[in-house]
Structure 1
Amino acid sequence: MKTGMFLTPIHRMGRTYLDMYRMIENVIIELDSLGYEEVFLGEHFTAKPEPVSNPLQFFTGLIHRTKSIKFATGVINLPHHHPARVAADVAMFDHMSQGRFLFGIGTGGLPSDFELFGTMESPRGEMMLESLRMIQGIWSQDPPYVFNGKFWNFQVKDTVMSDLDLGLMHKPFQSPHPPIVVSSMMPDSGLAGLAGENGWGFISANFVSTAILKTHIDSYNKGAEKSGRNPNPKDWRVVRTILVTETDREAEEYFENSQNNITAYYQFLYTQMSRMGMTILFQPDITHPNPNLSLKQSMDEMVIAGSPETVIGKIQKLKERIGDFGGLLLAYHDRDDNPKLWENSFRLFKNNVLPQLD
């Protein structure tokens, strides 16, 4: 089973940008030293607790500070970028990292980013697909380039000097291109269906209930069947908040402190999603939502904590409920509430939990 971390990331409010950037750097370097395989990093322009506006730029400074961990965008929101710029930047990073890269793409999820880029009412799904077709077109051919679509039109045709390699755009290090991955938090996700249809990787967010996870794999399987593909559970990654402690009591003591970072994280998300009218994400039963659902009840669905034996049992029960999946990613949380506890959790998960899940 693949493992790594998905960093939206959501930090506790009040931190400086530099502090947040250092926290992200440190956790990625630590995960690499422990043998974790991949790290996804989000892209947000208008949310201070989610401070990374350019994950590729951020990752560049970590290429030579890590040994083997793969860097993944989680995700580049294609409607907010020119396709040629994304094609060039991704290809460049793929070479710089020598193929340690996964190309996570999406439509965006932050309303204030939609407002910033004027895409609030735009067909962002169509925009993503058109952009991806153009990006793959650039990577699959030599100039001249001529691309005409509904949302973008561009060309490099009249200024090409083939003998001098002028007019030529980057192709990625990986052939034909880095693996494509999409993610979603919505029930009955259309992106999950597209992933199955196209053979892309798919990631289910950590701040959704088990019931929504089940709709994701169902949508993925339907998409695969639509295109005549055999659904491959190894292409599905599930993100979960996981805290592994030496004993169950140690985990209980962590949550008894109401100021712990995990509870603060989910309180922030619950407030945000309530204002966006999206509390369905937290409902254990999405067909009969509980209007009085508490934060603790929501967290019981999304947080896996305890001793290695307890965590193994909870993950196995999760697989029984939703089906098999090929990747389990840790959700990022600030660790300064108990650094030693978190450091030990990463080790216990990698060495004591993960080997028992294969």
Structure 2
Amino acid sequence: MRLGYFAMPMHPRGRAWADTLREDREAVILADRLGFHDAFIGEHLTDRHENITNSLVFLATLVPETRQIRLATGTTNLSHLHPALVAVHAAMFDHLSGGRFILGVSPGALPSDAELLGILDEDRNQLFAEAIDVITALWERDPPYRIELPGNRFPVTTATTYDDEAGVGIVGRPLQQPRPEIVGTVVAPFSKGVVAMGARDFHPLSANFLLPQWVATHWPNYVEGKRSVGESASPADWRIARTVFVADDARVAEAYGRADARSPYRFYYTKMVAKMRSLGRLGLFKTSREQPDEAVTLDGVLDDLVICGTPDAVAEQLLTFRERTGDFGELVYAGLDWVDPDLARRSMELMATKVMPQIEDALGTGGAA
């Protein structure tokens, strides 16, 4: 089983923007040194606490600072940009990174971002679907481009201005052929979008804030999508993110991971519960669809979604989690604010050097990726 890193970094109000960006970069550099397979970085335009506005720009600063870790947008919000821009910028980044790029995509879920861009009343899921069709078509086709897909609002062409001798009207292709890996973040139970991912050979990443029983609903849909095109689904293609804190001492783990008022895990889920309540999506935290909203409490969410403890305890909890979801290829460690930098770094170190070897031994993989 691979170990990945995912951050929609949520920093408390009052921290200097430059300081939080420096910390977020340091976390990815540490993940690279510890052998993490990839690092997904989220983006929002109008969120005080999640203050990376362009994941591709952020990741570009890490290309010379890292050696082996794959750098992934987590995600590029496709409703925010013309798809031709995404295609050309992503292709260039793939070359800059030496082929270490993963394109993580989503529609863009934050309503205030949509309002800022004047698309609050638009169907962002439809924008997403149309955009990804154009991106993949640009990477697949030769110039001059005449991409006019039925019902797609993004006609793309260079037919009028294409000049092969002058070298204009040509979109650069990614280094990885036929294209980089495309990963879609899945944030809803029973998501039908996962069916489409399977059909198109995109790979799902199940969000860290979903209960285990809702995460488990994603795999059957991915299998369905693969079968629809006559292919078999491989668990190696499924990533699952979890909110994990590992410490040498069990009491420290419980305090920093859940109980202490200054816990970054407590802060993160305080904000997540508030956001989902305002969006009418508290069902993500419910153990059943019939559970009333008032039954969703912060302490209950922390108990359900934060995996914390010593390396032995965390390994046991993760193996139990895997029994509920079934096999998957990558465990993605969710990165949060470094309230205590020493504890945050130590957690990542213990995850890579103590927890994962125990999981690999239990699964009989012997460290195989």
2:319 aligned with 1:321: no
Give the corresponding residue for 2:364: none
Give the corresponding residue for 2:209: 207
Matched residue type, 1:175 = Q
Give the corresponding residue for 1:231: 233
Give the corresponding residue for 2:365: none
* 8 Å Cα contact 2:259/2:266 also seen in 1: no
Give the corresponding residue for 2:335: 332
Query: Which one of 262, 266, 270 corresponds to residue 265 of structure 2?
Result: 262
Deviation at 1:253, TM superposition (A): 3.6
Q: Any residues of structure 2 matched to 1:1-358 within 5 Å, and which? A: 1-149=1-149, 150-254=152-256, 255-289=258-292, 291-336=294-339, 338-358=340-360
Deviation at 1:117, TM superposition (A): 2.5
Deviation at 1:290, TM superposition (A): 6.3
CA–CA distance in structure 2, aligned partners of residues 277 and 314 of structure 1: 30
CA–CA distance in structure 1, aligned partners of residues 197 and 116 of structure 2: 28
CA–CA distance in structure 2, aligned partners of residues 271 and 285 of structure 1: 19
Structure 2 gaps, min length 5:
361-369
Give the corresponding residue for 2:366: none
Give the TM-score, by structure 1 length: 0.95
* 8 Å Cα contact 1:148/1:154 also seen in 2: yes
CA–CA distance in structure 2, aligned partners of residues 289 and 339 of structure 1: 38
CA–CA distance in structure 1, aligned partners of residues 59 and 187 of structure 2: 24
Is the deviation greater in 186-195 or in 67-76? Answer: 186-195
* 8 Å Cα contact 2:207/2:242 also seen in 1: yes
CA–CA distance in structure 2, aligned partners of residues 27 and 20 of structure 1: 11
Is the deviation greater in 233-242 or in 281-290? Answer: 281-290
* 8 Å Cα contact 1:103/1:180 also seen in 2: yes
* 8 Å Cα contact 1:12/1:265 also seen in 2: no
Deviation at 1:356, TM superposition (A): 2.2
Matched residue type, 1:169 = V
Matched residue type, 1:258 = A
CA–CA distance in structure 1, aligned partners of residues 38 and 305 of structure 2: 21
CA–CA distance in structure 2, aligned partners of residues 68 and 289 of structure 1: 46
Q: Secondary structure at the match of 1:132?
A: helix
Q: Deviations over 1:102-136 (max 9, x none)?
A: 01111111111122233333233332222222212
Deviation at 1:171, TM superposition (A): 0.5
* 8 Å Cα contact 1:9/1:42 also seen in 2: yes
Q: Deviations over 1:51-80 (max 9, x none)?
A: 112111111111011111110011111122
State, as a whole percentage, how many aligned pairs show the same letter: 34
Q: CA RMSD in A?
A: 1.6
Is the deviation greater in 283-292 or in 135-144? Answer: 283-292
Deviation at 1:289, TM superposition (A): 4.9
Deviation at 1:38, TM superposition (A): 0.6
CA–CA distance in structure 2, aligned partners of residues 334 and 172 of structure 1: 33
Matched residue type, 2:242 = R
* 8 Å Cα contact 1:245/1:308 also seen in 2: yes
Would you identify which runs of 4 or more consecutive aligned residues in structure 1 move more than 6 Å?
none
Structure 1 gaps, min length 5:
none
CA–CA distance in structure 1, aligned partners of residues 2 and 248 of structure 2: 23
CA–CA distance in structure 2, aligned partners of residues 58 and 252 of structure 1: 32
Matched residue type, 1:55 = S
* 8 Å Cα contact 2:184/2:197 also seen in 1: yes
Is the deviation greater in 161-170 or in 177-186? Answer: 161-170
Is the deviation greater in 221-230 or in 325-334? Answer: 221-230
CA–CA distance in structure 2, aligned partners of residues 140 and 220 of structure 1: 24
* 8 Å Cα contact 1:280/1:289 also seen in 2: no
Is the deviation greater in 97-106 or in 132-141? Answer: 132-141
Is the deviation greater in 113-122 or in 261-270? Answer: 113-122
* 8 Å Cα contact 2:134/2:154 also seen in 1: no
CA–CA distance in structure 1, aligned partners of residues 18 and 84 of structure 2: 30
Matched residue type, 1:306 = G
Q: Secondary structure at the match of 1:137?
A: helix
Q: Deviations over 1:213-254 (max 9, x none)?
A: 112223222222233221211111111111111132331243
Q: Secondary structure at the match of 1:65?
A: coil
Is the deviation greater in 61-70 or in 223-232? Answer: 223-232
* 8 Å Cα contact 2:9/2:337 also seen in 1: no
